[in-house]
């Protein structure tokens, strides 16, 4: 539902939108590359870039196998917090729009760099969604010789010791409203040190600790996912379109998919808040850049193919028809 303050595109902008919609309607093989900007409307912090601190720790320093070996309790506290925040967030209309596009277009494949679980929770068809960096809600055994993996574990907390601490505003009342969660990303909030006994154990080998099923720094992207994408790219026929949504697409190997799609004939459509966030190879004549919040503009731009979105339980943002092209 468009807000009453919605910005209506200019004639030139409308022409760009219609040009994209015409190309989309004729396209059969389509890629989407998703980044953290897609989930911004769902209110999730990214912990990347300047100021990416969690308590006193650089968040990227916690995202390594070495950090887990040194202090698995601390790493699990960080990831349990991220799981908790992601579960409190809701998929936004852009997640639902892309899920519906996957149902409408058989040749549509989505490559997501996000680990937040919002695309799966928006019922994006599983076989059309490739998670390049894994998921916060997959867990696997940290032992080298154990291959245990569990998908879509939404238990929060995953073990009791990782429960978010709470504070009673008024100790004289038992009302649920008087209890609030403490923000453990704030270093002033006390959290205990956790050892092996407190942490999730592997049910298969009975020896190893479970770890988050995300790709840490220094680790390879999941081979099965990369193989599936390569098989899709090698299919006969051109790639018609790649949509780059909420990501600068400047970091490889994700950025390489823009180049690979171009090499097979694809035109590029970028959806981003920052006008400087264009793919590493730039924009070519015939490409599109739509500046704005993906949660607002994607459902509108995709409407000729996906129709009006109806099934959006607890969507995190309202649709708007604000679209700006560059």
Question: What pTM value is reported for the model?
Answer: 0.88
One domain, residues 235 and 276 = yes
Q: Is residue 159 part of a domain?
A: yes
One domain, residues 184 and 119 = no
Instruction: Please provide the size of the chain in residues.
Output: 326
CA pair distance 310, 301, nearest whole angstrom: 16
Q: Is residue 186 part of a domain?
A: yes
Range of the domain at 53: 45-88+137-171+178-214
* Residue of 84, 95, 124, 133 with catalytic role: 133
CA pair distance 78, 63, nearest whole angstrom: 9
For residue 43, say whether it is annotated as part of any ligand binding site: no
Q: Is residue 323 part of a domain?
A: no
Q: Is residue 324 part of a domain?
A: no
One domain, residues 209 and 141 = yes
CA pair distance 188, 288, nearest whole angstrom: 46
* Residue 323: predicted pLDDT: 46
Per-residue pLDDT for 322 more than 50?
Answer: no
Structure tokens at 64: 């390594």
**What's the N-to-C CA distance of the chain in angstroms?**
25
* Residue 323 contacts residue 301 (beta carbons within 8 Å): yes
For residue 34, say whether it is annotated as part of any ligand binding site: no
pLDDT digits (tens, 9 = 90+) for 121-160: 999 999 999 999 999 999 999 999 999 999 999 999 999 9
Q: Is residue 7 part of a domain?
A: no
Which CATH number do you get for residue 156?
Answer: 3.30.1600.10
One domain, residues 118 and 208 = no
CA pair distance 296, 238, nearest whole angstrom: 30
Which CATH number do you get for residue 228?
Answer: 3.40.50.1220
Number of H helices and E strands in the chain, helices first, is 9, 14
For residue 202, say whether it is annotated as part of any ligand binding site: yes
Point out the domain boundary residue: 159, 190, 214.
214
Point out the domain boundary residue: 214, 241, 272.
214
CA pair distance 160, 88, nearest whole angstrom: 18
Average pLDDT over residues 110-117: 96
One domain, residues 69 and 185 = yes
Q: Is residue 34 part of a domain?
A: yes
One domain, residues 115 and 238 = yes
pLDDT digits (tens, 9 = 90+) for 231-263: 999 999 999 999 999 998 777 777 899 999 999
CB neighbour class for 307 (10 Å; exposed up to 12, middle 13-18, buried from 19): exposed
pLDDT digits (tens, 9 = 90+) for 37-78: 999 889 887 665 445 788 889 888 999 999 999 999 999 999
Active site residue 95: no
Structural domain count of the chain: 2
One domain, residues 22 and 122 = yes
pLDDT digits (tens, 9 = 90+) for 25-37: 999 999 999 998 9
One domain, residues 49 and 39 = no
One domain, residues 165 and 234 = no
One domain, residues 65 and 182 = yes
Q: Is residue 320 part of a domain?
A: no
One domain, residues 106 and 255 = yes
One domain, residues 288 and 244 = yes
Point out the domain boundary residue: 195, 214, 233.
214
Number of Cβ within 10 Å of residue 58's Cβ equals 12
Q: Is residue 5 part of a domain?
A: no
Number of Cβ within 10 Å of residue 123's Cβ equals 16
Among 156, 145, 88, smallest CA distance to 116 is for 88
User: What share of the chain has pLDDT > 90, as a percent?
Assistant: 71
For residue 54, say whether it is annotated as part of any ligand binding site: no
């Amino acid at each position: 539902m468009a807000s009453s303050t919605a910005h209506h595109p200019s004639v030139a902008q409308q022409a760009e939108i219609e040009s994209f919609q015409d190309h989309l309607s004729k396209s059969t093989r389509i890629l989407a590359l998703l980044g953290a900007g897609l989930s911004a409307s769902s209110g999730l912090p990214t912990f990347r870039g300047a100021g990416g601190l969690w308590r006193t720790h650089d968040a990227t320093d916690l995202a390594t196998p070495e950090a887990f070996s040194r202090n698995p309790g601390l790493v699990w506290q960080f990831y349990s917090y991220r799981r908790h925040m992601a579960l409190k967030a809701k998929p936004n209309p852009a997640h639902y729009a892309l899920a519906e596009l996957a149902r409408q277009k058989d040749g549509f494949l989505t490559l997501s760099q996000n680990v937040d679980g919002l695309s799966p929770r928006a019922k994006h068809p599983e076989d059309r969604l490739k998670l390049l960096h894994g998921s916060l809600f997959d867990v696997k055994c940290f032992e080298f010789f154990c291959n245990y993996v569990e998908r879509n574990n939404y238990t929060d907390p995953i073990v009791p010791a990782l429960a978010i601490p709470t504070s009673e505003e008024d100790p004289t009342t038992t009302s649920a409203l008087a209890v609030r969660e403490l923000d453990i990303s704030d270093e002033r909030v006390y959290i205990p040190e956790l050892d092996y006994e407190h942490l999730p154990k592997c049910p298969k080998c009975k020896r190893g600790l479970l770890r988050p099923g995300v790709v840490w720094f220094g680790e390879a992207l999941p081979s099965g996912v990369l193989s599936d994408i390569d098989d899709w790219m090698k299919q006969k026929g051109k790639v018609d379109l790649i949509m780059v949504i909420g990501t600068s697409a400047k970091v490889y190997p994700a950025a390489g998919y823009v180049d690979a799609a171009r090499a097979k004939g694809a035109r590029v459509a970028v959806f981003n808040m920052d006008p400087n966030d264009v793919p590493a190879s730039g924009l070519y004549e015939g490409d599109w850049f739509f500046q704005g919040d993906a949660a607002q503009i994607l459902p509108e731009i995709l409407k000729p193919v996906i129709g009006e979105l109806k099934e959006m339980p607890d969507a995190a943002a309202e649709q708007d028809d604000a679209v700006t092209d560059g």
